[in-house]
Amino acid sequence: MLIGRFPERIVVIGAGMAGLVCTLELMKQGYNVRLLEANSQPGGRIYTMRDQFADGLFCEMGAAFIGAHHFLTLHYAQQAGVQLINVPAPNRSLSYIDGRLIIDSPVEPAWWPVSLTSEERTLGYAGMLEKYLKPGLNATGDPSLPGWPTKQAVLLDSMTMEEYLISQGASSGAIKLLEIGYMQMLGDGIRKVSALQRLLDLKMASSGRNTQTIAGGMDQLPKKLALTIGSNISYGCAVTHIEHSNKGVTIQYTNSGEVFTICSDRVIVAIPSTVLRTIHFSPPLSKEKNDVIQNQLSTSVTRTVIQSRTRFWNNLSSFTTVNTDLKIGWLLDATFTQTTSRRGLICSYASGESARELSKAGNFHSAVSEIKQVLPELSYQYEGGTVFSWDHNPYSRGAYAWYKPKQMIRMLPTLSAEQGRIYFAGDNTSLFPGWIEGAISSALRAVNQIISSRLS
């Protein structure tokens, strides 16, 4: 129930999943909401690249997968009426290490070209994951329970992921092997990232049951939610200034080069810290708030996509993904749900320093030659391609937030706290940056902060 002056006017900045959910939930509660988005479409880091490829093929540049335990994401996917499909479980895993393609499966375990102890050789890849990661995954605890962060969580936050693996007895060969692929996709890799964040993120990534994706492209989720919001969204409005007092908020934005202002009772800022730090606040935000906004790090990710005449890689596995030790990082068949064409798209996912290097002008061909190294048949099947750098995207300036040791637990409460009539949402203010689930949970938290501030 709303109390006081009714309806309150709320401006939400950013039509990514966090801003969309804030807007929908506040509209349901009877608030008068305006959603300002800098781009001409909703979705933010849910970005399905279309129109660059033949035969109507598309490729996800950002979010691609939804875990079976991402209950908030699944709830809004159901509300939007999008169709989910299961991501096939590969029948064998492929890695490219030291110039060789290595195939691992339960029936034919790989001989890994790294120096492992005899126990690690016997354990195999899955056994090493179990031995070295399971204690850490348990030690993160459940952040939704009172009393979190526990002592164990604080301890994990004080070390890097590499230090954690060493503390579990992993040999340097095992660490080299485990860091190839998913583990390196956060920040500047396991030598820099907080073990707590790395392990919490692994929990989000791993799902006992099937991982899903959206048939026809992930962008359908924000697009359908935006349709429900309708004319309350204004596109092409890049916010530049926020003036605030205990009476209200004035937001200044540019639209086709012209400057406009809009007044509201409260504002929710649902954009990454990397972009938030370019907005001018008057009076300035508190020193503590400003510090975390200025210092929150963002992972560099560069995606290189190649269109191929056929999907020759289907001979390698039932769902082709390759963990590589090259700059291109992880390779995957981006068209596994798209069945209307014989053509296919193979997409690489480089992160950290490699992503920064591959994003430099002129480096597209060095990415292509690395991809051809892994999949030599591509030399005869190549039809073109493109590169996309999240660092160069002006409205995200990076892919997703990451923390060095002793940053996560310290920064999170400040990132998510309101400041007068200004509220903060976005996956970077949640425990799960890099996940739609984190973006939605932050939105629900911001909406609750507004509702409870009116009741108090």
Ligand X SMILES: Cc1cc2nc3c(=O)[nH]c(=O)nc-3n(C[C@H](O)[C@H](O)[C@H](O)COP(=O)(O)OP(=O)(O)OC[C@H]3O[C@@H](n4cnc5c(N)ncnc54)[C@H](O)[C@@H]3O)c2cc1C
Q: Round to whole Å and give the CA distance between 104 and 111.
A: 8
287 CB burial (10 A radius; 0-12, 13-18, 19+): exposed
User: Binding to ligand X by residue 272, rule CB under 6 A?
Assistant: yes
User: Binding to ligand X by residue 18, rule CB under 6 A?
Assistant: yes
Query: Pick from 434, 447, 449, 450: which binds ligand X (CB under 6 A)?
Result: 434
* Range in contact with ligand X (rule: CB under 6 A) among 107-115, 310-318, 324-332, 433-441: 433-441
List all residues 6 or more positions away from 71 whose beta carbon is below 8 Å from its beta carbon: 437
Interacting positions 299-338 with ligand X (CB under 6 A): 301
Rank residues 30 and 236 by Cβ distance to ligand X and give the closer one: 236
User: Binding to ligand X by residue 344, rule CB under 6 A?
Assistant: no
Question: What's the min distance (Å) between Cβ of 438 and ligand X?
Answer: 6
Residue of minimal CB distance from ligand X? 16
User: Binding to ligand X by residue 348, rule CB under 6 A?
Assistant: no
Query: Pick from 12, 14, 34, 311: which binds ligand X (CB under 6 A)?
Result: 14
Give the per-residue contact string, 38-57, with ligand X (x = CB under 6 A; - = no): xx----xxx-----------
User: Binding to ligand X by residue 123, rule CB under 6 A?
Assistant: no
Q: Round to whole Å and give the CA distance between 74 and 216.
A: 16
User: Binding to ligand X by residue 37, rule CB under 6 A?
Assistant: yes
Q: What dihedral do alpha carbons 436, 437, 443, 446 form, nearest 10°?
A: -140
Closest by CA to 184, choosing from 358, 300, 88, 317, is 300
Q: Round to whole Å and give the CA distance between 317 and 248.
A: 58
User: Binding to ligand X by residue 422, rule CB under 6 A?
Assistant: no
Size of the site for ligand X (CB under 6 A): 39
Q: What is the DSSP string of 417-451?
A: S-BTTEEE-SGGGSS-TTSHHHHHHHHHHHHHHHH
Question: What's the min distance (Å) between Cβ of 218 and ligand X?
Answer: 8
Q: Round to whole Å and give the CA distance between 30 and 447.
A: 12
Question: What's the min distance (Å) between Cβ of 191 and ligand X?
Answer: 21
* Range in contact with ligand X (rule: CB under 6 A) among 128-136, 155-163, 264-272, 329-337: 264-272
Question: What's the min distance (Å) between Cβ of 124 and ligand X?
Answer: 27
Q: Round to whole Å and give the CA distance between 364 and 368.
A: 6
User: Binding to ligand X by residue 164, rule CB under 6 A?
Assistant: no
User: Binding to ligand X by residue 385, rule CB under 6 A?
Assistant: no
CB atoms within 10 A of CB 346: 27
Interacting positions 57-86 with ligand X (CB under 6 A): 62-66
- Only one residue has tokens 């349901």, namely 28
Interacting positions 140-159 with ligand X (CB under 6 A): none
CB atoms within 10 A of CB 452: 9
- Only one residue has tokens 């999943």, namely 17
Which segments within 83-184 are labelled E, that is strand?
Answer: 84-86, 93-97, 100-104
Question: What's the min distance (Å) between Cβ of 307 and ligand X?
Answer: 19
Give the per-residue contact string, 187-226, with ligand X (x = CB under 6 A; - = no): ----------------------------------------
Q: Is 217 helix (H, G, I), strand (E, B) or coil?
A: coil
User: Binding to ligand X by residue 378, rule CB under 6 A?
Assistant: no
Binding site for ligand X (CB under 6 A): 13-19, 36-39, 44-46, 62-66, 238-239, 270-272, 275, 301, 390, 395-396, 399-400, 426-427, 434-439
